[in-house]
Structure 1
Amino acid sequence: MDTINVRGWTQPVSRLMMGSDFFRLDNYGEVAALLDEFAAHGGNCIDTAHIYCGGQSEQVIGRYLEECGARDRWVILTKGAHHGPDGEPRVTREHISRELETSLERLRTDHVALYALHRDDPATPVGAILEWLNEHVEAGRIGAFGGSNWTWRRLAEANEYAERHGLAGFSFSSPNLSLAKANEPFWRGCVSADAETLAWHERTGLPLFSWSSQARGFFTGRYTPEVRDNADLVRVFYSDANWERMRRARLLADEFGVPVVQIALAYVLNQPFPTCALVAPRNSEELASSVAGSRIRLTPGQVRWLDLAAETPDLPSAPAI
């Protein structure tokens, strides 16, 4: 499996990241077997968060890391400082420290390779946030940090501050990026990558870790304009532009001889800057499909055409994998 490098952490990171928001104590055996398969495919990064499954996700990962006997081969990304149940911001020194301590206890470790703030609080100066995060880097609790659902402007402001003050800055961003463009946030406070975001990442080379990289099943073939039984999917992804993206993805998939959902994943992984895709396969078949999609190589012209930025496709006779 292909990997990328993240500033602040020496170990390469697999471009497929295993999502864990379905890891629970009561399905530990299923999860452990899936992680074994993921590792066999060359995957090494697991994405989790303080809030996932009420903390069970981190607990399951901690148990697996202890039992697998290969803790050092894994790159763990966890997140903290999600807003509270009433939407109140929790990007504070106290919340970050307390939640990180709890996460490390659940993960049965004294450090994580990657740490992300799950949400931003634009009312909090980026300088203060960077000072807090750098304390944890210096203490060895985190290797590199990033922002999940931070706008590119706030990331740029933060990294400019870090450079001026000799601090470690944000090493990655984790918004939603998918071939289907969101009409509105899936959850309150979430950020989806728009054209300006992509242009900024191309200029800076900052890695992007995409959640909902396959648009939550939009490209699986289960959905059409007439099928409207998933209210969230209708609200977020149903649009004329996205149905046209679907049509183009289907044409390219037919040309390549692959499922449409693999073309959608390839779109994320063939951007002109480093990207990783968070995926959440529930079984061997879904995992194998994600791995196959990660191997498809699209030309820049194909990526632009899929995203409605070019009028004519650049179709090869066979996929480059």
Structure 2
Amino acid sequence: MEYRLLGRSGLAVSELCLGTMTFGNTTNESDSIAMMNRFFERGGNFLDTANVYVSGRSEEIVGKFIQARRSEVVLATKVRFATESHPNGVGVSRKHILDGVEASLKRLNTDYIDLYQVHVWDHATPIEETLRALDDLVTSGKVRYIGCSNFFAWQLMKSLATSDRNRYVRFISIQPQYSLVSREMDREMLSLCLEENVGVIPWAPLGGGFLTGRYTREEPTSGRLTTRLGESSWPNRASEQNFAVLDAVRDAAKELEKTPSQIALNWLLQRKGITSPIFGASTLEQFEDNMGAIDWTMPESVWNRLDQISALPSEYPNRFIAKFARPF
């Protein structure tokens, strides 16, 4: 396992991050603990959870695991979505952030969170209020670093500028959806992160299971993609373009004697600007398959082939800017 600095910080994280959204749901507690043990045995140190995963159960399971190795764990969790039914039980107001961090610390059974992330932008709360509350948490020692997730590029840039102007702590990372079948952040977000040195820790690197290779062009009757709602739903994935990408992934897997999941993850590991893809697993077999994405390098010719077939179409203003790019 290799390590990379997370954004403009000195925090070293493993090249893969273990996501825990299934813990306490499709993955029972004993298998969840086993996955985390195997992950750390292979050199992983980065765990990602959220206060709303399985109504807090995911945080509780992670909290049990980290007790014996707290100092070596880079622990990430999130705040934003509704945790209570009253009007202040949602968002990133000062109140909800401070209430949320105390609840997460209790479930995680720890004194501090390494990376505290805003789960999604909150239009109801001024970003100055959110960042001041997060800055106070860093000053207090309850949080070490802050990050965000599911932002537009303008929202991230506004946040960074607000932090700089007010001398608040900065977001060091963003957690976006990104994979060979979801490359929307190529439009603006990825170049912004490179420019501002913001770490990128993508979620759904396998397209919600689409890139595992188990699906055909026939609508599935089992598995995660059977849902009709959310990003990882059959209507959002079942396009001819995505199936062309999947065919290329299958071809690469056969050529390199890897699995489709390993191909999709390894492509991300070699993508400039990507720090640590977040992978999840419902079973130990899936976990082991995903871990096979490390400790090898995809040939440049194969990587380029996948990059080209999955690239976004040429769009304005990118094609306009490229037309008039200076040669030096």
Report the TM-score, using the length of structure 2 for normalisation.
Answer: 0.83
* Local SS of the residue matching 1:210: coil
- Within the alignment, does 1:50 sit opposite 2:51 as a pair? yes
Shift of 1:282: 3.4
Deviation, 1:289, is 2.0
CA distance in 2, matches of 1:92, 1:309: 36
Q: Which moved more, 1:214-223 or 1:117-126?
A: 117-126
1:239 and 2:239 are equivalent in the alignment: yes
The CA RMSD over aligned residues, in Å, is: 2.5
Q: Distance in 1 between matches of 2:187 and 2:82?
A: 26
Alpha-carbon distance in structure 1 between the residues aligned to 2:191 and 2:9:
25
- Residue 293 of structure 2 aligns to a residue in which SS? helix
Query: SS of 1:218's equivalent?
Result: helix
Q: Report the residue type matching 1:255 in the other structure.
A: E
1:8-157 superposed matches below 5 A: 10-24=10-24, 27-66=28-67, 69-83=68-82, 90-157=91-158
Hey, what does 1:314 align to over in structure 2?
A: none
Q: For each residue in 1:4-53, what CA deviation from the matched residue of structure 2 results, as whole angstroms up to 9, or x when unmatched?
A: 21257644111211111222299322222221111111111111111111
Q: Is the contact made by 2:8 and 2:199 (CA closer than 8 Å) also made in structure 1?
A: no
- Please tell me whether the aligned partners of residues 214 and 265 of structure 1 are also in contact (alpha carbons under 8 angstroms): yes
Residue type at the aligned position of 1:28 = E
Is the Cα–Cα contact under 8 Å of residues 248 and 306 in structure 2 kept in the other structure?
Answer: no
The 2-side partners of 1:270 and 1:85 are apart by: 41
Contact 2:75 2:113 in 1 (8 A): yes
Matched, 1:305 2:305: no
Q: Secondary structure in 1 aligned to 2:181?
A: coil
Which amino acid in 2 is paired with 1:50? N
Deviation at 1:274, TM superposition (A): 3.4
Structure 1 residues 13 and 116, CA gap change in structure 2 (3 angstroms): same
Contact 1:8 1:171 (C-alpha < 8 Å) held by counterparts: yes
Structure 1 distance, partners of 2:209, 2:7, is 31
Offset from partner CA, 1:99-121 (integer Å, 9 cap, x none): 11010011111101111011211
Aligned partner of 1:203 in structure 2 is 195
How far off is 1:194 after superposition? Answer: 4.4
Q: Which stretch of the first structure deviates more once superposed, 91-100 or 272-281?
A: 272-281
Change (3 A) 1:251 1:27: closer
Contact 1:8 1:143 in 2 (8 A): no
Q: Which amino acid aligns with 1:65?
A: I
Q: Secondary structure at the match of 1:29?
A: helix
Cα contact 1:4–1:13 (8 A) shared by 2: yes
Residue equivalent to 1:189: none
What is the SS of the residue equivalent to 2:147? strand
- The 1-side partners of 2:142 and 2:83 are apart by 24
Please tell me whether the aligned partners of residues 84 and 90 of structure 1 are also in contact (alpha carbons under 8 angstroms).
Answer: no
Shift of 1:173: 0.3
In structure 1, list runs of 5 or more residues that go unmatched.
183-191, 311-321
| Letter in structure 2 aligned against 1:15 | E
Deviation beyond 6 Å, 4+ runs, structure 1: none
Q: What is the CA-CA distance between 1:208 and the residue it aligns to?
A: 0.9
Cα distance change of structure 1 residues 23 and 226 upon mapping to structure 2, 3 Å threshold: closer
Judged with a 3 Å threshold, the aligned counterparts in structure 2 of structure 1 residues 194 and 123 are, in CA distance, closer, same or farther, namely farther
- Are the equivalent residues in 2 in contact too, given 1:16–1:276 (CA < 8 A)? yes
The answer to whether the 8 A contact 1:14-1:43 is kept is yes
Q: What residue is the counterpart of 1:287 in the other structure?
A: 287
TM-score after normalising by structure 1: 0.85
The equivalent residue for 1:316 is none
Secondary structure of residue in 2 paired with 1:293: coil
Identity, in percent, stands at 27
- CA offsets 1:181-235 (integer angstroms, 9 cap, x no match): 28xxxxxxxxx63432223223333211111111111022221222343144312
Task: Tell me if 1:266 matches 2:266.
Answer: yes
Query: Aligned pair count?
Result: 299
Aligned-pair CA distance for 1:138: 0.5
